[in-house]
C-alpha cells in the first residue's frame, strides 16, 4: 500500500450513530432490507470505499505472494557456473551470444591468388568474434550486444573453419561454447572462404599451408587487444582473459590447428602463446611426409573427433594424424555419424550433442590444468551407439573410399 494512502476505515467510530439506511432503487429488482437488518447496513459511499479497499488489498496480496514465489523459485533454481583456470563466476542470468567483426592485417606475409599466381601485400583476416552477453535474444546471436564484462574475463577459443565454408556454418557449435563461458574468434581465411574459392577455383585450397600462421597471428592480435595494446577489437579488454587459449578447427580448419600445434615446421609460431588444448574435428595432416608431425614436452593436449563413416575426411587420414602425435594427454572420439559436417553444425543432432559436451569438457579441464578423462567419459556416458572414447596410444579405423561429393551434404542452406 502506498505511503500516502490512508488505511481503509475499519467501521464507524464508537458513539457515532449510523445514518439511516436507504432502500435500493426499485428498477434493479431488489427489495429493501428487512428492518431487522437495516441497523447493520452501511451507507453506499462507505461500502464503495470498503470494496475498493478490499480489492486493493487482494491485488497487493497476490503481488506479494507472486514475488515471494519468484524469490523462492530463484533461490532454488539451478545457477549457471562458469569454471576455468583462475576464473570462477556464478550468476543467475544465462549467458547469451553477442557478435562483432574485427579485422586484422598481417603486413609481414602476402596473399596469393592461386589461379593467377599473383600475390598482393598483406593478409587481411576478417574475424567473427562471438562473446558472452546478458542482453539480446536467448535463441540467436545479437550483433554488437553489450558484453558481459561483469561476468568475465572469459578464456579465448580460436576456431578455424573448413574449406569453402564460412564460420557461420558452425554457428550452433560456436554459440554453445560462448554460452559455456568463452570468447570465440573465427577468422575468415583470405583464399579458402567461399567467395575466394568461387573466384579462383578449388586450387585455392593450396593456401592451406598459410593458415596455421593466420591462426597464430589472430590469436596474438586478440591477446594484444585484451591487454589494451591494440585499437582493433578493443572491446575485448576486460572481457577476454590473456591467459590460457584453446584452438579448434573442423576439416581443413582441423588440419590448420593441428599443423600449428604439432607440425615441426611450425614450432616457432606457438612461441609465447599459452595454448592449453587443441580440438581437431575431422582433420588430417597437411604435410604427409613421415616424421612431419609429433609432440614435445611443451605440446598441448589434443581432442580428436572423427566419424568412421566420413568419406570426406577419411578415417584412415584421421588415424594417421592422431597416431603421429605422440602425446599422452590425447583423446579420440570415434563417432558413428554418416556425414562430414553434420556433427558440428547441428544437422546430426545426436553426434552434435556429444561433440558439444565433449569439447566443453575438454576445454574446461585443460584450461583448469586437470585431466579431462572423467569429464570426457561423463560426456559420452550412455552414448555408445553414437560415440566411443579412447585415450593415448594408436588407433586403427576401417578403410573408407574418399568421396569429395560427401563433403557438403549436410551444409546448412543459406
**pLDDT-derived band of residue 160, with 50, 70 and 90 as boundaries?**
very high
Alpha-carbon distances of 352 from 272, 340, 348, 362, 373, rounded to whole Å = 33, 12, 6, 15, 20
Task: Provide, rounded to the nearest whole percent, the portion of the chain with pLDDT above 70.
Answer: 78
Task: Identify the residue with better confidence: 176 or 25.
Answer: 176
Q: Residue 93: its pLDDT value, please?
A: 79
What is the pLDDT averaged over residues 51-65? 44
What is the pLDDT averaged over residues 73-99? 51
Q: Residue 20: its pLDDT value, please?
A: 43
Q: Residue 308: its pLDDT value, please?
A: 94
Alpha-carbon span 375 to 359, nearest angstrom: 10
Is the pLDDT at 320 greater than 70? The verdict is yes
Q: Residue 66: its pLDDT value, please?
A: 40
Nearest-CA neighbor of 18 among 36, 43, 35, 37? Answer: 43
Q: Chain-wide mean pLDDT for the chain?
A: 84
Of all helices (H) and strands (E), which one includes residue 379? helix 373-380
Alpha-carbon span 123 to 191, nearest angstrom: 10
CB of 285 closer than 8 Å to CB of 293: yes
CB of 155 closer than 8 Å to CB of 367: yes
**pLDDT-derived band of residue 178, with 50, 70 and 90 as boundaries?**
very high
What is the pLDDT averaged over residues 179-192? 98
Is the pLDDT at 16 greater than 50? The verdict is no
Nearest-CA neighbor of 314 among 285, 287, 277? Answer: 285
Task: Identify the residue with better confidence: 16 or 89.
Answer: 89
Task: Identify the residue with better confidence: 277 or 65.
Answer: 277
Is the pLDDT at 69 greater than 90? The verdict is no
Alpha-carbon span 142 to 26, nearest angstrom: 65
Tens digits of residue pLDDT in 115-126: 999 999 999 999
Alpha-carbon span 280 to 306, nearest angstrom: 9
**pLDDT-derived band of residue 89, with 50, 70 and 90 as boundaries?**
very low
Torsion-angle region of 10 (φ positive above 0: left; ψ -120 to 50: alpha; else: beta): alpha
What is the pLDDT averaged over residues 147-151? 96
Alpha-carbon span 322 to 280, nearest angstrom: 9
Alpha-carbon span 259 to 239, nearest angstrom: 29
Q: Residue 90: its pLDDT value, please?
A: 45
Tens digits of residue pLDDT in 369-399: 999 999 999 999 999 999 999 999 999 998 9
Is the pLDDT at 64 greater than 70? The verdict is no
Alpha-carbon distances of 79 from 58, 74, 131, 235, rounded to whole Å = 33, 9, 20, 27
How many Cα neighbours within 13 Å face the side chain of 341? 25
CB of 240 closer than 8 Å to CB of 224: no
Task: Provide, rounded to the nearest whole percent, the portion of the chain with pLDDT above 90.
Answer: 73
What is residue 67's three-state secondary structure?
helix
What is the pLDDT averaged over residues 52-66? 43
Q: Where are the domains of the chain?
A: 39-76, 91-406
91-406 carries CATH number 3.40.50.1980 = no
Contacts of 347 (CB under 8 A, 6+ apart): 339, 341, 410, 412
Task: Identify the residue with better confidence: 386 or 37.
Answer: 386
Report the range of poorest mean pLDDT among 12-26, 117-131, 274-288.
Answer: 12-26
Is the pLDDT at 307 greater than 60? The verdict is yes
Task: Report the range out of 16-30, 56-70, 102-116 with the highest average pLDDT.
Answer: 102-116
Is the pLDDT at 292 greater than 70? The verdict is yes
Q: Residue 137: its pLDDT value, please?
A: 87
Alpha-carbon distances of 358 from 177, 352, 372, rounded to whole Å = 11, 10, 9
Is the pLDDT at 57 greater than 90? The verdict is no
| Triad 279, 283, 287: Cα angle to 5° | 115
> In DSSP terms, which residues pair with 296 in a beta bridge?
none
What is the pLDDT averaged over residues 69-81? 33
Q: Residue 413: its pLDDT value, please?
A: 84
Q: Residue 139: its pLDDT value, please?
A: 86
Q: Residue 99: its pLDDT value, please?
A: 98
Using CA of residue 218, residue 223, residue 228, residue 229, what is the dihedral sign?
negative
> In DSSP terms, which residues pair with 183 in a beta bridge?
156
CB of 346 closer than 8 Å to CB of 356: no
CB of 184 closer than 8 Å to CB of 178: yes
Is the pLDDT at 26 greater than 50? The verdict is no
Q: Residue 372: its pLDDT value, please?
A: 97
Amino acid at each position: 500500500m502506498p505511503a500516502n494512502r490512508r488505511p481503509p476505515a475499519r467501521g464507524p467510530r464508537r458513539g457515532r450513530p449510523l445514518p439511516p439506511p436507504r432502500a435500493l432503487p426499485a428498477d434493479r429488482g431488489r427489495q429493501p432490507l428487512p428492518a431487522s437488518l437495516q441497523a447493520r447496513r452501511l451507507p453506499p459511499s462507505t461500502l464503495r470505499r470498503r470494496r475498493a479497499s478490499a480489492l486493493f488489498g487482494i491485488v497487493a496480496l497476490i503481488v506479494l505472494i507472486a514475488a515471494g514465489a519468484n524469490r523462492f523459485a530463484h533461490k532454488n533454481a539451478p545457477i549457471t557456473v562458469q569454471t576455468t583456470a583462475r576464473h570462477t563466476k556464478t550468476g543467475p542470468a544465462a549467458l547469451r551470444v553477442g557478435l562483432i567483426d574485427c579485422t586484422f592485417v598481417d603486413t609481414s606475409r602476402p596473399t596469393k591468388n592461386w589461379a593467377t599466381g599473383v600475390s598482393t601485400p598483406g593478409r587481411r583476416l576478417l574475424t567473427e568474434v562471438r562473446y558472452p552477453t546478458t542482453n539480446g535474444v536467448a535463441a540467436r546471436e545479437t550483433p554488437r550486444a553489450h558484453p558481459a564484462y561483469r561476468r568475465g574475463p572469459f578464456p579465448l577459443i580460436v576456431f578455424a573453419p573448413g574449406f569453402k565454408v564460412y564460420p557461420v556454418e558452425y554457428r550452433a557449435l560456436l554459440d554453445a561454447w560462448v554460452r559455456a563461458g568463452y570468447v570465440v574468434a573465427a577468422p575468415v581465411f583470405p583464399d579458402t572462404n567461399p567467395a575466394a574459392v568461387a573466384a579462383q577455383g578449388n586450387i585455392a585450397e593450396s593456401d592451406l599451408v598459410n593458415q596455421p600462421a593466420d591462426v597464430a597471428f589472430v590469436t596474438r592480435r586478440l591477446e594484444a587487444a585484451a591487454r589494451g595494446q591494440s585499437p582493433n577489437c578493443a572491446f575485448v579488454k576486460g572481457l577476454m582473459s590473456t591467459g590460457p587459449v584453446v584452438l579448434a578447427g573442423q576439416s581443413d580448419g582441423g588440419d590448420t590447428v593441428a599443423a600449428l600445434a604439432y607440425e615441426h615446421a611450425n614450432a616457432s609460431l606457438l612461441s609465447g602463446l599459452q595454448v592449453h588444448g587443441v580440438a581437431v574435428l575431422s582433420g588430417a595432416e597437411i604435410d604427409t611426409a613421415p616424421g612431419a608431425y609429433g609432440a614435445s614436452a611443451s605440446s598441448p593436449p589434443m581432442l580428436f573427433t572423427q566419424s568412421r563413416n566420413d568419406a570426406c575426411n577419411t578415417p584412415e587420414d584421421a588415424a594417421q594424424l592422431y597416431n603421429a602425435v605422440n602425446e599422452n594427454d590425447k583423446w579420440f572420439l570415434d563417432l558413428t555419424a554418416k556425414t562430414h559436417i553434420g556433427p558440428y553444425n547441428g544437422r546430426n543432432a545426436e553426434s552434435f550433442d556429444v561433440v558439444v559436451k565433449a569439447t566443453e569438457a575438454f576445454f574446461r579441464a585443460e584450461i583448469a590444468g586437470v585431466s579431462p578423462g572423467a569429464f570426457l567419459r561423463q560426456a559420452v556416458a550412455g552414448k555408445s551407439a553414437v560415440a566411443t572414447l579412447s585415450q593415448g596410444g594408436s588407433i586403427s579405423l576401417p578403410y573408407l573410399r574418399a568421396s569429395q561429393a560427401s563433403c557438403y551434404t549436410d551444409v546448412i542452406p543459406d
